[in-house]
Structure 1
């Protein structure tokens, strides 16, 4: 074992001993450490200065209780988190997730990935993430408002336009951001840049809602263009039916693909005529219903209860996982291979397990990691920060053009970095090395911070 490989192995072993229960965090670290050896061999000063060990430890983890009252007058308690992981490139930036699975391991994995995702955008933002184990499903607007207000009473101590700028994530959309912003404003005065993903009426950005889904498809479109190909005529399946999935479907359809299926936690829909996007938006964004109600308007569609789209026997070209972490384990990766998939591009964060990734690689399926492919959301969040600072709103077209250019640059950076350090087309290695290089150089030049 080379000296560099031993150094990386020791770092991973030490983390596993310290945090054996943090499986998601350890998975993200293992995937990252497994790709950066070629860069460290060519740049040994980063090993000598032990930059990696410093990078693996968050600058700050904030954990707090969130008491709130439900509509029956009962007090409920949830746990809140903010992981301020790395600020070498700018203020911490990353979403807030409301979901019952949220714990410190998931927060750390998301914040760790966010460091490199934000670095790849080339925008001046560091990496962070936060959230709560609060479940917004089935809650009234009043309950969600009271919860958000209680959360912000604690979170406001640690955030600010030049310190830490949260945004939305799973379970946190415009409604939740509005309640969070309102409470922050009551406590601290009007600072438009303290949160992104705000409604347009108070300095939100046009195209922010669409950004992650659009950016995902833009990333793949530049990949396809490199192969003298396009989305035209491609068959696509998308997991999830939330914000990222809906707007990935929209942009893929605009570029000529047919999206046949999507899903939610209750099951999957396959429509042989292609997903009716207007209906899907009505179900999910207006009525907030389960996806099986799609059949009421499209009886020829098929509903598969309690099954992910990746479990179905269906021939298609491109898989866009946009639901949650580890939704594609090894057995479903094999199903993707059987179904003839050529490209897997992640709209969610780490939806593919390490073992599944090996299956995809062994079968020459092009894999686009989330830290690169789904960076469009945070990129437009940073553009929202720029608009807030300038006190100038940008048009949808301007933001969309900037988004497409950023995703093009991210793809080309991953491609070229992979060729330079690995000598092969490996977008995972390219994303990890390129993201790490910028952060590590900043940390070194600032005095190992």
Structure 2
């Protein structure tokens, strides 16, 4: 059963609103509904069979065996969502405002859950937990100028929040079982995709500092990276000394479009951005500062630790054999401010009225620039980054050598015929 109900009230149609002519539209609306999820395939609760070859009496023969694990306990994923909002028009609809509040509970989220590879399989479809999403979405459309020069603007702002209410035992899901690419951890009581790793505390400056600090086994030495001993047991290990070190969820994100028109000229600018939220720059710290010599490093790595008398910048460690692995472990060094503003597109055009000559009605010449500029403190190539698209359950805000968005210049002609 997936029921839903919605209601709306156009308040501006009521008689008592006629005394407020500046309000051209006022509509209140609310809805509640439950939906399922059918994007994981058919019959996944049952084990599947596939054709496989094998050797019988020295001859290759075809056969059938299980090619996918079934899960008889798999249940429907149920998304229960409540929405309330309003539409407001002012000054004969020159200003239009839309506001929405949503509150969504995903109960029984279906996801591939890792299973021991001794089973012959890597994952199984499973109802892994309960998630809550809520937030505010605001849209404003304005007609700023309506004379010979027209100027229309569109602004949308989203404040989105989430929290993991519960997860299957042991209450969290790791990305994998390494410390070099186990970028995030989904854990009950935390937001989706929070980064997980060590707390960076610089380098072991000298022998005294090394003797009085916790160490990462035999991989630590003077001049190597020092991590914080979170449980104060005198040693650094992968289990007890990693914690949540960053959150990719922005405080808010926005888009802003401006359209201008004067006589035959038109100009359009599209901007977008986000405020708050963090990015895990694995591309830089796991690869471009790799001290094992297997990749081309940043020039800044030249200012590395060489001796207590020549400690360099205090950021990049020495290159002693067997001590560099900890530098490729996820840590707070990798976490950067994700705030950005980008001019996604700017387009200037000129339209000629051909008055039907040669069956041609209009001819428009235009020039445009995509990804015109990006304002950000992020040191990577693109702050609009995500490890696995927009799937928040598989890691967001992670930069692992993603291809940057190119700046593109275009010239073009568009024609309208009878």
Under TM normalisation by the shorter chain, which class is it? under 0.3
Q: TM-score, normalised by structure 1?
A: 0.21
**Greater helix percent: which structure?**
1
Q: TM-score, normalised by structure 2?
A: 0.22
Greater relative CO (CA pairs within 8 A, separation 6+): 1
**Greater strand percent: which structure?**
2
